[in-house]
């Protein structure tokens, strides 16, 4: 898994593409909030001030339409750039040129992403009923502690279903890395589906480990960012998740 750290240019390329939708979302946000609210000398202390939070909420509510539009645009751009990121990762692991590989593989990765909706729909179909049942049960339940435990179990089950769906799609991308010839999206998805179900108990740990490591590192980074007020630490988080994307594909390829 740690071999993924040997792709600094790939991580930088992913970070650059990820930065585009983030800027689309954050630039209007920064412009809509006054400097008096964002750049206070004692910003950490002000977060516990009701007056500060009310002023911040009022400033954001006045620009809600702009923020909504920018958020939707950022999401659309992120979806459009997603296949380019996947194509760059495949090209990087195949030791090909990143930009050329991302451009050449864009259509196939887009089709793979669309095929990936099938596992996601299946995950929602399996995970959502558990949440709906707990919601109905909570209306007539007597013990609140029991309801809280059921919510945790249902949320973990829904999260596991989502994780399985994402791993299923990642197995299809593994097929595009392994294949010496250029195979189509349907062929790659069929190979990935076969790999996912035949090697399920090897695929899931290999896929989940980089995700959990990235999640723990993100929480740790944000904790130190809040404690030290070093805002630059927030820029490390996209690199962590870029590494996670490369690492999980790398580990799955080695199975």
42-68: per-residue pLDDT in tens? 544 554 555 555 666 666 666 677 778
Handedness of CA 5, 7, 10, 12 (dihedral sign): positive
Contacts for 233-241: CB closer than 8 Å, 24+ residues apart: 238/14, 238/15, 238/18, 238/19, 238/22, 239/11, 239/15, 240/214, 241/18, 241/214
Nearest to 32 by CA among 55, 75, 74, 64: 64
Report d(CA 127, CA 162) in Å as an integer: 8
Half-sphere exposure of 215 (CA within 13 A, CB side): 5
Average pLDDT, 10 consecutive residues per value, the chain (255 residues) = 59 83 76 54 50 60 72 87 89 85 89 92 89 77 72 88 92 88 88 94 93 91 77 77 87 87
Tokens 């412009």 found at = 31
Burial tier of 233 (Cβ tally within 10 Å: 0-12, 13-18, 19+): middle
Report d(CA 115, CA 95) in Å as an integer: 26
**Angle, CA of 175, 179 and 180, to the nearest 5°:** 165
Give residue-wise pLDDT tens across range 133-177. Answer: 887 777 776 667 777 788 888 888 988 999 999 999 999 999 988
């Amino acid at each position: 898994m740690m071999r993924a750290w040997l792709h600094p240019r790939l991580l930088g390329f992913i970070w650059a593409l990820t930065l585009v939708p983030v800027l689309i979302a954050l630039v209007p946000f920064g412009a809509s909030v006054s400097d008096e609210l964002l750049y206070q000398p004692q910003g950490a202390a002000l977060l516990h001030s009701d007056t500060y939070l009310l002023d911040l909420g009022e400033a954001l509510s006045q620009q809600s339409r702009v923020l909504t539009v920018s958020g939707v645009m950022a999401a659309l751009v992120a979806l459009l750039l997603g296949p380019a990121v996947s194509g760059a990762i495949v090209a990087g692991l195949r030791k090909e040129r990143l930009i050329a590989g991302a451009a050449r593989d864009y259509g196939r990765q887009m089709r793979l992403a669309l095929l990936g909706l099938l596992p996601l729909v299946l995950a929602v179909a399996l995970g959502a009923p558990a949440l709906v049942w707990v919601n109905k049960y909570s209306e007539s339940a007597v013990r609140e502690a029991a309801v809280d435990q059921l919510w945790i179990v249902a949320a973990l089950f829904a999260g596991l279903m989502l994780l399985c769906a994402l791993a299923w799609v990642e197995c299809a991308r593994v097929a595009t890395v392994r294949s010496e010839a250029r195979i189509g999206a349907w062929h790659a998805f069929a190979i990935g589906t076969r790999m996912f179900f035949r090697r399920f108990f090897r695929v899931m740990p290999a896929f989940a480990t980089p995700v959990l490591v990235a999640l723990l590192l993100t929480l740790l980074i944000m904790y130190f960012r809040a404690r030290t007020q070093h805002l630059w630490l927030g820029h490390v988080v996209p690199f962590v998740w870029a590494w996670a994307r490369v690492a999980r594909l790398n580990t799955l390829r080695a199975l």
